[in-house]
Structure 1
Amino acid sequence: MAQDGIGARVARKEDKRFITGKGRYVDDMRVAGMKHVAFVRSPYAHAKVGGIDTEQARNMPGVLAVLTGSELVADGIGNLICGWMVHSKDGTPMNMGAWPALAPDVVRFVGQAVAMVIAETRGEARDAADVVAVEWEELPTITDPAKALTDGAPQLHPEAKGNLIYDWEIGDKAAADKALSEAAHVTRMEIVNNRLVPNAMEPRAALAQYDAADDHFTLWTTSQNPHVARLVLSAFYNVAPEHKLRVIAPDVGGGFGSKIFIYPEEVACLWAARKTGLAVKWTGDRSEAFLTDAHGRDHVTVAEMAFDANNRITAFKVDTIANFGAYMSLFSSSVPTYLYATLLSGQYDIPTIHCNVRGVYTNTAPVDAYRGAGRPEATYVVERMMETAARELGVAPPELRRTNFIREFPHQTPVIMNYDAGDYEASLSAALSASDYAGFGERKAEAARRGKLRGIGLSCYIEACGIAPSQAVGSLGAGVGLWESAEVRVNPVGTIEVLTGSHSHGQGHETTFAQLVAERLGVPIDNVSIVHGDTDKVQFGMGTYGSRSGAVGMSAISKAIDKVEAKAKKLAAHLLEAAEGDIEIADGEVRVAGTDKKLGWHEVCLAAYTAHNLPEGMEPGLKEGSFYDPANFTFPAGAYVCEVEVDPDTGHTEIIQFVAADDFGRVINPMIVEGQVHGGIAQGVGQAILEGCVYDPESGQLITASYNDYAMPRAHDLPSFKVSTTETICPSNPIGMKGCGEAGAIGTPPAVINAITDAIDNNDLAMPATPEKVWRALRAGATPMRQAAE
């Protein structure tokens, strides 16, 4: 292993600029003549847009233009799209309602934009936006996804009768029903996965510039996938030709999935830049983020799990209503289908699974991928069911899981996924040992003497990452392939530039990607620079989400390094008069194995560019590119143990201990991995006990629209985590990686809720488990299922 190569705990290279205030975010960008944008947003969740009087706003100080939705539509700007086609079980395509970047006639959620003001300063633009007079005709609203499907519910889109987007299924319903009818025991639950607001550190922003001389557009944007943004903006929205549009995503301050998508503001700013000839910038504030950023989760599920007399699962049946909000976002259709239902096998050998999903429109912000995207929802259903079943059956929760673990690989689940490698027993054993699970009874008794209720809960998660083979996702309706690209440029002095189509919004790619290069080519990571986020520098790429940057992005880099290495060895063999098979590259040298014959790495690189003495037929230079299309998803997995104390007088929950044992395959930088797990656990704790997005059911107003009402986790809400990794090498990519970015947010919520329900002896508890909810559950008494188990 190189000193700072794979497996080394190397400090992040990019942190120097971040912690010294030298990061460059979209709001830091300035271009000559730049003006500022403010949007006129709907105060209503559902309303017709009548006349828009812009005269007073146009006469405000500093105002240069006021543009409306009717003008945008008249200029032929296309509607926002969903890029993954899902068909209902009857074969009909999903019902996608029209979503213009500025609404010309109807708004469908609070905060939807109908006009934009361009002014000299941000303050002047906002002041003018406040006086744009819109004639509103308020319409009935619906925010509850189940009620949205009922007869007589307010209708959002003419394209979606009954507010139904699709009625989709996977698996064998008849076999599941038969197994349930013949089961020795059936666990049944209704499970709600609460809606969340992503809350990235950096609000979304867009800076658009149009150069009339070259008929060329530039967009700086807070994006996780700038190349896909360029593709969609050009091919579907008719904003600019692809070869005339440059998209730059500089430093991006967090995303968690919410910055994958194309948003109306980006479309509107590009359109406005050409229409007015002005460079225009919009930076969202936190209120706009709450109202308009894509939200996450929001499922209502009824689940049934069948067991035989030996406590083996025989079938699992799930019915889910997924709230999509007012419009379909870029990946939204796939989240409650192919990213959710396909993971309902969990870590367990379940012979029969059936899942039915109905996607629904409501007068709420659009819902799309949020850290984990479907896998947290699936894991929550599976692991709440497993813990509940253990209680009903009177079996220790670890033992019920062990009884049903998959133990032979590869394993084909009944719901598409083929798990390639894993050792679930190893993770569970590591977590139980680290948490002293066996000694919990003594700790519970000690807590009782102090008047506290102590509980412990498990969660064994699995997720599908490295999304995914292009042919496979294409067959399931994806509008793009999900490969990745890379180019490795070795300079004449031996320094290296890596151009990657992946992107970073805080994961540390500039360090981990460089560690791979250091490992393979024997150079210090300070001699490696990572270039990403600019469509004029990197030809194409698919961005970062679904923990794909390592398994897919780094695999593309690895393939490009293979080509560089082969060429360098061929050249060195020629220069050293040796066989290519005897050449090795390490520690800044290229040498003949078993001899003292060697050249410095820089000498070989210079020789490639001087081209004075090349092997016959070899081209000068040392630059190679590669596209990598994964052979399979990757399947990180792990076991989490949460231990809590509940105050019976107040319902307050304190997390006393949290243990995570994860299998991420090969780990590049353990320090960065631990940071990713810590952050994910914090988000999972937030969902479990603090965070919950609430709309007023009558008006459709977002009640939790600020940090006064939406409770983010703080340091005092979290313990010191105990994290560790086990390792099974992923066989489907050249590095053996599985991915780590989402695990904490996936495995944590069920572990926390399982622990709290264990403490209070009441299984009827929904997220977020606030003190009030816990207090009320305590006073409701033990649930029948616990009494039955006892």
Structure 2
Amino acid sequence: MPKDTGIGASTKRREDVRFLTGKGRYTDDIDVRGQAHVVFLRSDVAHARIGGIDTSEAEAMPGVIRVFTGRDFEGVGGLPCGWQITDRHGQPMQEPAHPVLAQGKVRHVGDPIAAVVAETRQQARDAAEAIMPDLEELPAVIDMKAALAEDAPKVHDDLTSNLCYDWGFVEENKAATDEAFAEAAHVTTLELVNNRLIANPMEPRVAVGDFNAATGDHTLYTTSQNPHVIRLLMGAFVLGIPEHKLRVVAPDVGGGFGTKIFHYAEEAFCTFAAKALGRPVKWTSSRSEAFMSDAHGRDHVTKIELALDAQNNFTALRTETYANMGAYLSTFAPSVPTWLHGTLMAGNYRTPLVYVNVKAVFTNTVPVDAYRGAGRPEATFQLERVIDLAARELGVDPIALRRQNFITEFPYQTPVAVEYDTGDYEGTMKVLEEKADLAGFAARRKESEAKGKMRGLGVNCYIEACGIAPSKLVGQLGARAGLYESATVRVNATGGITVMTGSHSHGQGHETSFAQVVADMIGLPEDMVEIEHGDTANTPMGMGTYGSRSLAVGGSAMVRATEKIVAKAKKIAAHLMEASEGDIELKDGTFTVAGTDKEVAWGDVTLAAYVPHNYPLEEIEPGLEETAFYDPNNFTYPAGAYACEVEVDPETGQVTVERFTAADDFGNVVNPMIVEGQVHGGLAQGIGQALLESCAYDEEGQLLSASYMDYAMPRAHDLPMFTVDSSSRTPCTHNPLGVKGCGEAGAIGSPPSVVNAVIDALHSGGHRVGHIDMPLTPARVWAAMNGAVPNMGAAQPAARTDATTEARSVGGPATRT
């Protein structure tokens, strides 16, 4: 029987009442009395030297308060990078300065050159258009391999080259891995691209800076997934503001997907300008501005090789990846292709030797950082594509090949540092086979063929490391901050509970699921628990929400704080009932003395905590409020098996996703409905990457996919009804809830499923295609079928060919039909 309340119940999301009725309070809804507006003049070229900036005409225009340029930020810190990588030669990565406004050079289209603050946004926009920068255009480097040539133009003149780092992992495995390949019975090699993506959350970024001259207090309202981290980075490293004088508020946030983790120049500018001008300053990104100022995701070019013995056991794996950093190092960018990618290259399989090489490269493009999954989708895509290709080369069933090589005993120490504490990959695969009705696929293929379509089945497995931590480990890996989480649980005199968390919610349903956890522990109705987050002034220091860490880390902090609350409440209850503390039990919101009929209600105990007329103050302090910080011992390791069925039109190359099934192991599940929604969202983004989305630049660094006319986001009719199952549960062994994290799984597991399915469909029609790079647009699929694949490794805009929406030629302009 499904539960009605507490952990395991599909409680309706309480947040949705305000979101669906237009009562949400987003950053752009915040208007501070007397605020001015800022518009940034952004570079329209990818690489140029700044000779001068004529702001005289702009400064004389109506409503203009002040025009800022890079000179106003001389002596101000640049945007910091939160992770340092040491390369395989023991050298620290090259770490260039990242000024708030461009100084000396612009390095990508969208780099901010100047900022106009005016009375209205329109006045600021008009004045920004009147600024005349003197730009000496320089050759741009866009292709990563070309950027590493000796004669390549340097993105940063003060660096020795465009190579950020050359990372090898595990370096001591390299010789043994090479030897295993030399001795292998079979080697499968695949070169592939993980296409650059733009996150496009529903709410563009916004920043409102305010300064109180009377107190010296700064306030920043911003669209952030981790306000405490923004306060730390901006206050300590950019503007030199003591943390107790800087408040960062992230109210309702309309989606993040990773792109709102990072500290951005606009946040620092608005905070700086508010003090400089003595009045609040507000910036709201336009959608087109977001395309060239929000951090992008993915953008890897990889060669992967899989070695097998004569019995088809995996013996070694090695990869060489070029990872695009863009023009600057975003907050967590260096960690994504290294520690969040290389450590997952073992996947679900017993592969004794793994060696991963990553060359991170600076180019004249928008900075690249974490995007839903962050490194794990890249690892999964490489691994699951090369396994499928190996199965085809060997003439064996792809599921059987995976099964043969599954890890079956836990805990399992991988050859890439991490240790999986628990899992059941065989069990999850069995669930997938049943839920996806794989036995009926042959019949469905015949039905498709009768309609003149080719039908394909793609299966893959994934594992991810999330609940990012522990601090001791990530500190050794280069993290410049701890990755713990925090919670304060405050019980009011009348029994209601307020939980203040360092985690942040931007669509995940935390206000519902967090309340379920605390209410379940005490035995109270969930509506007696309120969740507060997003304001550094009233929440404990926390590292925010990303990496599917909210319940595993933030929820565990709540559990620890609630345990402290219960322990103190039991002392008060014992005193009230004149019993031994060890005999007190709490169930359904009532304290009882074991073996007796004595009881006292939760509300009576909480009132006594604040009206301590009748208990020994020397033993028990008044009040009922506790704080806990939780730093986990290990990552959590969700895993799953996915199946996708597609139809391909042989006349046009159009791919239609007909069925998609996801079987996931998320450990214990707090709210199954929320979990299902999270998986649905991830699947939509993963399928979007596989078939539609791609951020493209031309050779001069112009962003070709700079609007929704050229960047194809998935729409409802692009997606099937999903079958989602999370009944496979091996609880995490090292956090008190036994949870693993679910927010990124769909985006990790779905791209290889789709590509595997399309390749399978083409083979069923007699087309011996080994690989097609994402996105699998109709033009690319058609070209592959006809043996003429143009520029398969290049990032190109996606195409739609449904006549009711829009049609695009690959790499060309969009047209509506």
Place the TM-score, normalised by the shorter chain, in its bin: over 0.9
Matched residue SS, 2:746? helix
Q: Please give the residue correspondences for 1:155-194 in structure 2 after superposition, counting only pairs within 5 Å.
A: 155-171=154-170, 172-194=173-195
Matched residue SS, 2:178? helix
CA contact (8 A) 2:239 2:272 kept: no
Q: Please give the residue correspondences for 1:118-157 in structure 2 after superposition, counting only pairs within 5 Å.
A: 118-157=117-156
Q: How much does 1:3 deviate?
A: 4.1
Q: Please give the residue correspondences for 1:348-497 in structure 2 after superposition, counting only pairs within 5 Å.
A: 348-497=349-498
The whole-number CA distance in structure 2 between the counterparts of 1:158 and 1:176 is 37
The whole-number CA distance in structure 2 between the counterparts of 1:35 and 1:190 is 51
The whole-number CA distance in structure 2 between the counterparts of 1:588 and 1:89 is 56
CA contact (8 A) 1:2 1:519 kept: no
The whole-number CA distance in structure 2 between the counterparts of 1:531 and 1:554 is 13
The amino acid that maps onto 2:110 is G
The amino acid that maps onto 2:351 is I
CA contact (8 A) 1:96 1:159 kept: no
Q: Please give the residue correspondences for 1:244-259 in structure 2 after superposition, counting only pairs within 5 Å.
A: 244-259=245-260
* Counterpart among 776, 790, 815 of residue 769 in structure 1: 776
Q: Deviations over 1:612-667 (max 9, x none)?
A: 12255111111111010001000000000000000000111111100000000010
Q: Please give the residue correspondences for 1:240-319 in structure 2 after superposition, counting only pairs within 5 Å.
A: 240-319=241-320
Identity percentage over the alignment?
Answer: 59
Q: How much does 1:594 deviate?
A: 4.5
CA contact (8 A) 1:431 1:641 kept: yes
Matched residue SS, 2:292? helix
Q: How much does 1:597 deviate?
A: 1.9
CA contact (8 A) 2:107 2:155 kept: yes
Q: How much does 1:581 deviate?
A: 3.3
The whole-number CA distance in structure 2 between the counterparts of 1:14 and 1:4 is 17
CA contact (8 A) 1:228 1:543 kept: yes
CA contact (8 A) 2:43 2:113 kept: yes
Q: How much does 1:212 deviate?
A: 1.1
Q: Deviations over 1:726-746 (max 9, x none)?
A: 100100101000000000000
For structure 2, list consecutive stretches of 5 or more residues without a partner in the other structure: 764-768, 790-817
Q: Please give the residue correspondences for 1:669-684 in structure 2 after superposition, counting only pairs within 5 Å.
A: 669-684=671-686
Match of 2:525 in 1: 524
The whole-number CA distance in structure 2 between the counterparts of 1:722 and 1:577 is 55
Matched residue SS, 1:747? helix
TM-score by length of 1: 0.97
CA contact (8 A) 1:95 1:159 kept: no
Q: Please give the residue correspondences for 1:220-259 in structure 2 after superposition, counting only pairs within 5 Å.
A: 220-259=221-260
The whole-number CA distance in structure 2 between the counterparts of 1:59 and 1:265 is 24
Q: How much does 1:239 deviate?
A: 4.4
Match of 1:753 in 2: 755
The whole-number CA distance in structure 1 between the counterparts of 2:615 and 2:229 is 40
CA RMSD of aligned residues (A): 1.2
Q: How much does 1:2 deviate?
A: 7.6
Q: Please give the residue correspondences for 1:604-683 in structure 2 after superposition, counting only pairs within 5 Å.
A: 604-615=605-616, 617-683=619-685
The whole-number CA distance in structure 1 between the counterparts of 2:175 and 2:418 is 20
Match of 2:112 in 1: 113
Q: Deviations over 1:269-293 (max 9, x none)?
A: 1111111112000000101110110
The whole-number CA distance in structure 2 between the counterparts of 1:2 and 1:734 is 20
Q: How much does 1:584 deviate?
A: 2.4
Matched residue SS, 1:162? coil
Q: How much does 1:509 deviate?
A: 0.5
Matched residue SS, 2:66? strand
Match of 1:572 in 2: 573
Match of 1:785 in 2: none
Match of 1:787 in 2: none
Are 1:509 and 2:506 matched, yes or no? no
The amino acid that maps onto 2:779 is E
* Deviates further, 152-161 or 770-779: 152-161
The whole-number CA distance in structure 1 between the counterparts of 2:146 and 2:591 is 69
CA contact (8 A) 2:53 2:134 kept: yes
CA contact (8 A) 2:498 2:529 kept: yes
* Deviates further, 591-600 or 471-480: 591-600
For structure 1, list consecutive stretches of 5 or more residues without a partner in the other structure: 783-790
The amino acid that maps onto 2:97 is A
CA contact (8 A) 2:298 2:371 kept: yes
Distance change >3 Å, CA 705–CA 426, structure 1 → 2: same
The amino acid that maps onto 1:459 is N
Q: Please give the residue correspondences for 1:15-26 in structure 2 after superposition, counting only pairs within 5 Å.
A: 15-26=16-27
Matched residue SS, 1:161? coil
Q: Deviations over 1:251-286 (max 9, x none)?
A: 111000000000011111111111111200000010
The whole-number CA distance in structure 1 between the counterparts of 2:610 and 2:25 is 34
Match of 2:800 in 1: none
CA contact (8 A) 1:203 1:286 kept: yes
Count, aligned residues: 779
CA contact (8 A) 2:209 2:282 kept: yes
The amino acid that maps onto 2:270 is C
Q: How much does 1:159 deviate?
A: 3.9
Q: How much does 1:234 deviate?
A: 1.5
The whole-number CA distance in structure 1 between the counterparts of 2:301 and 2:624 is 55
CA contact (8 A) 2:38 2:118 kept: yes
Match of 1:11 in 2: 12
The whole-number CA distance in structure 1 between the counterparts of 2:596 and 2:380 is 55
The amino acid that maps onto 1:91 is G
The whole-number CA distance in structure 2 between the counterparts of 1:301 and 1:159 is 28
Matched residue SS, 1:156? coil
Q: Deviations over 1:209-237 (max 9, x none)?
A: 11111111000001111101111111111
CA contact (8 A) 1:295 1:368 kept: yes
Q: Deviations over 1:173-199 (max 9, x none)?
A: 111110011011101000110000000
The whole-number CA distance in structure 2 between the counterparts of 1:593 and 1:714 is 58
CA contact (8 A) 2:487 2:540 kept: no
The whole-number CA distance in structure 1 between the counterparts of 2:272 and 2:788 is 59
Match of 2:592 in 1: 591
CA contact (8 A) 1:2 1:522 kept: no
The amino acid that maps onto 2:625 is K
Match of 2:792 in 1: none
The amino acid that maps onto 2:420 is Y
The amino acid that maps onto 1:665 is G
